[in-house]
Amino acid sequence: MVIGIVSPGFMGAALGGALRDGGARVVTTLAGRSARSGRLAEAAGLEVLHTLDDVLGAAGVVLVVTPPGAATAAARQVAAAASRTGASPLVADLNAVAPTTVAAIEATLAGAGLDFVDGSISGPPPTTRPGARVYLSGPRAGEIAALPWRDVRPVVLPGPAGQASAVKMCTASVYKGVTAVVAQAMRTASHYGVLDAVLKDLGDAADPGAVALAATKAGRFAEEMREIASAQRAAGLTAALFEAFSEVYEDIAATDLAKGDPESTSGDAPPAEVARRLRRR
């Protein structure tokens, strides 16, 4: 079995490694990717091919794991590569996007004759903590669930494509929304010199380590908040809350704490240091 990964970032490389550990041959390309992606792909034991065309030509299944804002562009690139090569792998989009975005991705891939599975990921990469859940929906979702996953739990949902992404939009609205609130509380408390008292009062409700980790992915989270806003708008709800959270994460992305990588960021930094590094540059 040959599985392609687009693209081998923190999560994509880890999922590829989980499938390689399960016995699959896992291929990817570093064309247009950073040196960090190269290190992550190497650490995960992924086989690096020259181009995306090569990946589609080799793989029977392609998993797309990109930042939310790059999901539609990635679908266009996969569709173009399929058209050039005549390849027809089953494509699963595992990005944190709204069901409306899923529909656009599915249409793009269908135009190139590619079958599509909608997916979403809940939990950290399996290299960080085993047990991430991969939600899947659509007619061929069972085929992605049947891949040789290690330390990952696939969950097939009934119904059409879009259901898996709807789950992500709801769960991430809580997980990442709460983290944004805690980050703002810490920043405000630091400004007024009451950080210790605030954290003591909040207790387990506030996790400075989670804030520090989220800061390294703040740009990506800002995009995800916009997708959540879109999902809520399509459900007939106000999108204002998550549009505001998007602004919070964009602001955090401009701080010193955001310059780190999630794989090298400690969750044990003193809260005062986390708050200090959350100040605008």
Instruction: Based on the fold, state whether residues 264 and 132 are members of the same structural domain.
Output: no
Instruction: Based on the fold, state whether residues 185 and 209 are members of the same structural domain.
Output: yes
Sign of the C-alpha dihedral, residues 73, 75, 79, 82? positive
Judge residue 276's burial from the number of C-beta atoms within 10 Å of its C-beta, 0-12 exposed, 13-18 middle, 19 or more buried: middle
DSSP string, 158-221: SSSTTHHHHHHHHHHHHHHHHHHHHHHHHHHHHHHT-HHHHHHHHGGG--HHHHHHHHTTHHHH
Instruction: Based on the fold, state whether residues 28 and 119 are members of the same structural domain.
Output: yes
Q: What is the pLDDT of residue 268?
A: 85
pTM comes to 0.94
Give the CA radius of gyration of the chain: 19
Instruction: Based on the fold, state whether residues 227 and 268 are members of the same structural domain.
Output: yes
Can you give the pLDDT of all 281 residues of the chain as single tens digits? 999 999 999 999 999 999 999 999 999 999 988 999 999 999 999 999 999 999 999 999 999 999 999 999 999 999 999 999 999 999 999 999 999 999 999 999 999 999 999 999 999 999 989 999 999 999 999 999 999 999 999 999 999 999 999 999 999 999 999 999 999 999 999 999 999 999 999 999 999 999 999 999 999 999 999 999 999 999 999 999 999 999 999 999 999 999 989 888 877 889 999 999 998 76
Q: What is the pLDDT of residue 263?
A: 86
Q: Report the distance separating Cα 127 and Cα 6, nearest Å.
A: 18
The last residue of a domain, from among 131, 161, 191: 161
Q: Report the distance separating Cα 172 and Cα 65, nearest Å.
A: 16
Closest CA to 38 of 82, 8, 68: 8
Instruction: Based on the fold, state whether residues 147 and 184 are members of the same structural domain.
Output: no
Q: What is the pLDDT of residue 63?
A: 98
Instruction: Based on the fold, state whether residues 30 and 152 are members of the same structural domain.
Output: yes
CB atoms within 10 A of CB 255: 18
Domains of the chain: total = 2
CATH of the domain at 31: 3.40.50.720
Range of the structural domain that residue 50 is part of: 2-161
Q: What is the pLDDT of residue 208?
A: 96
The last residue of a domain, from among 138, 161, 184: 161
